Amino acid sequence: AELEVPARILPVAELHLHIEGTLQPELIFALAERNGIALPYAGLDELRERYEFTDLQSFLDLYYANMAVLQTEQDFADMTRAYLERAAAAGVRHAEIMMDPQAHLSRGIPLSTCVNGVASVLATSQEEFGISTLLIAAFLRDLSEESALEVLDGLLAMNAPIAAIGLDSAEVGNPPSKFERLYAKAREAGLRLTAHAGEEGPASYIIEALDILGVERIDHGIRCMDDPDLVERLVDARIPLTVCPLSNVRLRAVDTLADHPLPAMLAAGLNVSVNSDDPAYFGGYVDDNFAQLGAVFELSDFDKARLAANSIHSSFASEERKAELL
């Protein structure tokens, strides 16, 4: 009999993941029922019909609306647990998880509820799921810098277990330069720095994120390919780009997966990794992203191993943990 070779799952670090974007339709309905919240959809099928996006904003509208079901620490904990369980099956061994505190504060949910709910599960993720984790507080760039500064103050005052800050939500018209003071304050507090840039916004936003915010890592960054000088700079400085292929297709940042710049980015020598962004909304987790990329591009085992190694090198994990993962 022929030897059955099981599909090999590469150990990877997931560096670009919004925990609120892991809320699956089934869990949305379960939490709505538990909390007595009326959803504007009759059932799962009607909700799933809304997952056809035309751009980033059309997704953000649904993403923020669905957060209404997150009310208690238990809700945030259940969502986090469900992600870690699925991520472990996808080969994720380290995860850097973003959350959007302002999206909960604006609904009247205290900072302590969302932070403690997520953090309570992350505290034992390595023992329970084999996934080391850290938490990234992401700030909504379509709100004011004053709002972000106030929330960062609150997080620092409560000694929230955050390792880094990020910048997300509606990109175009909200350039990184708007958040110069926020990033200076976070750096002073000893936090690591990342920001979404060059998803829908121009390559110049990536340059701003590096020069004005001083970020160590760029989330998405695909639009760097419009600027050869920037590509050269990113290659030379080994700046990590946390790329999310299925997200880019579903939000129409690229036409089809076959048009995705990831192979060109690899070929250019950029430090790219593969991430799921909002897996419940974009049709797949990290393993699904790898599988669909592999189906379209015939990535070599060498390319896949490089993507996996890049994810680990690009993480904010300790050097000791990185060595374990490599």
Q: Which residues are catalytic?
A: 199
- By CB atoms closer than 10 A (0-12, 13-18, 19+), residue 234 is buried
* Sign of the torsion angle spanned by Cα atoms 11, 322, 87, 18: negative
* Residue 61 counted as an annotated binding residue: no
**Residue among 131, 121, 13, 141 nearest 75 (CA):** 121
What's the CA gap between 105 and 109, in Å, rounded? 5
Smallest gap from Cβ 171 to Zn ion, in A, equals 10
* Residue 278 counted as an annotated binding residue: yes
Instruction: Give which of ligand ADE, Zn ion, none residue 169 binds (C-beta under 5 to 8 Å, depending on kind).
Output: ligand ADE
Smallest gap from Cβ 51 to ligand ADE, in A, equals 14
The yes or no reply on residue 75 touching Zn ion (CB under 5 A) is no
Q: By CB under 6 A, what part of segment 125-184 binds ligand ADE? A: 168-169
Smallest gap from Cβ 41 to ligand ADE, in A, equals 20
The yes or no reply on residue 93 touching ligand ADE (CB under 6 A) is no
Instruction: Give which of ligand ADE, Zn ion, none residue 240 binds (C-beta under 5 to 8 Å, depending on kind).
Output: none
- Residue 287, classed as helix, strand or coil, is helix
Site string for ligand ADE, 45-74 (x = CB under 6 A): -----------x------x-----------
- Residue 112, classed as helix, strand or coil, is helix
- Residue 173, classed as helix, strand or coil, is coil
Cα-flanking dihedrals φ and ψ of residue 40, to 5°? -80, 20
Number of residues that bind ligand ADE (CB under 6 A): 11
Smallest gap from Cβ 199 to ligand ADE, in A, equals 5
Q: DSSP characters for 194-251?
A: EEEESSSS-HHHHHHIIIII--SEEEE-GGGGG-HHHHHHHHHTT-EEEE-HHHHHHT
* Residue 168 counted as an annotated binding residue: no
* Residue 196 counted as an annotated binding residue: yes
**Calculated CA dihedral for residues 87, 90, 93, 96, nearest 10 degrees:** -50
Q: Which long-range contacts (CB under 8 A, 24 or more apart) does 66-70 make?
A: 66/20, 66/23, 66/28, 67/20, 67/23, 67/103, 67/104, 67/107, 68/32, 68/37, 68/107, 69/23, 69/28, 69/31, 69/32, 69/35, 69/37, 69/39, 70/20, 70/23, 70/31, 70/104, 70/109, 70/114
* Residue 277 counted as an annotated binding residue: yes
Q: Which is nearer to ligand ADE, 117 or 221 (CB)?
A: 221
Residue 278 DSSP one-character state:
S
Q: By CB under 6 A, what part of segment 184-243 binds ligand ADE? A: 196, 199
Residue choice 277, 286, 287, 310 for contact with ligand ADE (CB under 6 A): 277
Smallest gap from Cβ 179 to ligand ADE, in A, equals 14
Smallest gap from Cβ 230 to ligand ADE, in A, equals 20
Instruction: Give which of ligand ADE, Zn ion, none residue 262 binds (C-beta under 5 to 8 Å, depending on kind).
Output: none
What's the CA gap between 251 and 244, in Å, rounded? 11
Number of residues that bind Zn ion (CB under 5 A): 1
The yes or no reply on residue 18 touching ligand ADE (CB under 6 A) is yes
The yes or no reply on residue 21 touching ligand ADE (CB under 6 A) is yes
Q: By CB under 5 A, what part of segment 254-313 binds Zn ion? A: 277
Which residues bind to Zn ion, rule: CB under 5 A? 277
Binding residues for substrate: 278
Binding residues: 16, 18, 196, 277-278
Which residues bind to ligand ADE, rule: CB under 6 A? 18, 21, 56, 63, 168-169, 196, 199, 247, 277-278
